[in-house]
Amino acid sequence: MLRLGTSRAPNATQLVLDKPFCPAQNQIHEKGPAVPALRDAGRCWLENTMRTILAIVLVILGISAHASTNEVLLASNYDPAEAVFRDFLHTSPKQGWRTNLVYCLSYGTTCSPLPSDFMARFAGIPLRVITDTNALVFRSGGSIAERESGRQAVILSLRALVVNADQADASIRWIDSSRTIFHVLHFAQKNGRWNYVSGTSQSGDR
């Protein structure tokens, strides 16, 4: 047993650390590495904490940089992409409400704007079609509207498009003020025209 003010008992077990707590603890004593004092242990804790915070910040910055990178629709895929979007850009007497909507088209997982030469393909249809989601206002309660006109908007987000010869598979989302519908569609090209063949969809609340 050790008493205050006395030296260590002859048979007491000596505590020797295999490694220092941190680079600050690199002092070598005659009988092995030193046991860190409370002050040095606090310094080590602070250094390790700062390293952890720095690592987290770097991860966040990396994610942000990835998210801010626009994805570009290849010109070679314009025709099948147009067919996919046009499958949603139609009107009928039973769906007159569609004519009052603003359709915002986007591409990729980052909802990137589509090229202007691609968007020119929709200039002649009787619906308002835009591509920049920054032109939209997302209000509390989930409503989506075009900033300029105040009209209700729908986002058609073409998340992925895989084209193999005369076959194409697309993943696209319909996002409106109350729901998101996930679509997986298959198209085939015949006589130079891409046509819808089959697909599945699943709806979910926003």
Q: What is the pLDDT of residues 5-42, one digit of tens each?
A: 434 443 433 333 333 334 444 443 344 444 445 556 66
Instruction: Please check whether residue 179 lies inside any domain of the structure.
Output: yes
Mean pLDDT of 55-73: 54
Instruction: Please check whether residue 135 lies inside any domain of the structure.
Output: yes
Residues 97 and 42 in one domain: no
User: Can you give the pLDDT at residue 44?
Assistant: 63
Whole-structure pTM value? 0.64
- The residue segments making up the domain with residue 196 are 75-205
Residues 46 and 147 in one domain: no
Burial 114-138 (b: 16+ CB within 10 A, else e): beeebbebbeeeeebbbbebeebee
Residues 118 and 149 in one domain: yes
| Domain count across the chain | 2
Instruction: Please check whether residue 43 lies inside any domain of the structure.
Output: yes
Alpha carbon of 40 to those of 50, 73, 89, 121: distances in Å? Answer: 15, 56, 67, 68
Residues 56 and 142 in one domain: no
Instruction: Please check whether residue 50 lies inside any domain of the structure.
Output: yes
The distance from CA 138 to its chain's CA centroid, rounded to whole angstroms, is 18
User: Mean pLDDT, the chain, as a whole number?
Assistant: 76
Residues 119 and 188 in one domain: yes
Instruction: Please check whether residue 103 lies inside any domain of the structure.
Output: yes
Residue 64 binned pLDDT confidence (cut-offs 50, 70, 90): very low
